[in-house]
Structure 1
Amino acid sequence: MFLINLLENRSKTERVLESVKAKLDAPCISEVLKRCVVDEPQLGLRFFIWSGLHPTYRHSSYMYSKACKLLGLEKNPSIVVDVISAYRDENSVVSVKMFKVVLNLCRAAKDEKLGL
């Protein structure tokens, strides 16, 4: 459900996700990331960040580690920078909590330079 809405409404990612009334859990997040990784890694990362801020769900350290592997952050850390740039280009508000999710992801990827 989340993936369908993401792919149909790429320009309003976070607003579209808020409207989805589906269960958000680790298997759901893993499935979305697996499907986004090939063609839409930035969209997958935005979903991961959004889901980490959801009031009914919090990422575990295992999910951060799994997201790093699925998104291939070790080989392509630039997707994190690209997503932050996309937020800026869209004039989206980037909260402290969003940065916390990103920094935890960088920590799981063991890339302190990316975190900086």
Structure 2
Amino acid sequence: MATFADVRTTLGQLVQGRDIPRMKITHGGDAFSWDTAEELRKAVAVIFGTTYQLIDPALVGNGRADETYLVQVLMGPIEDQDIPRMPFRGPFASADQIKVIRDWINDGARDDGVT
């Protein structure tokens, strides 16, 4: 079972070396965060002027993680919305990294230590 610590580490690896404050400003300010599991569950991203909820609560804990915007944009591109695969220009998530995020969402997107 993937933990939030695993997810946070994975997302950190994907944006390593990037200007995080600038990235937050570009993608929605304080609403674009994954410092805690709660923040990630509530996170939104603004892409090309449109706001997307990264993890729709209706898709958590029921095997529907692949339908979340977070997983879709990491697997990307989302061609019908003309959105490139993220992080923009890579490095892109490996299948194993996406599995960590998918498993965490499918298992309920819980805080570590909460059952």
Query: TM-score, normalization: structure 1?
Result: 0.33
Query: TM-score, normalization: structure 2?
Result: 0.33
Higher relative contact order, chain-length normalized (CA < 8 Å, sep 6+): 2
Kindly indicate which of the two structures has a greater share of residues assigned to helix: 1
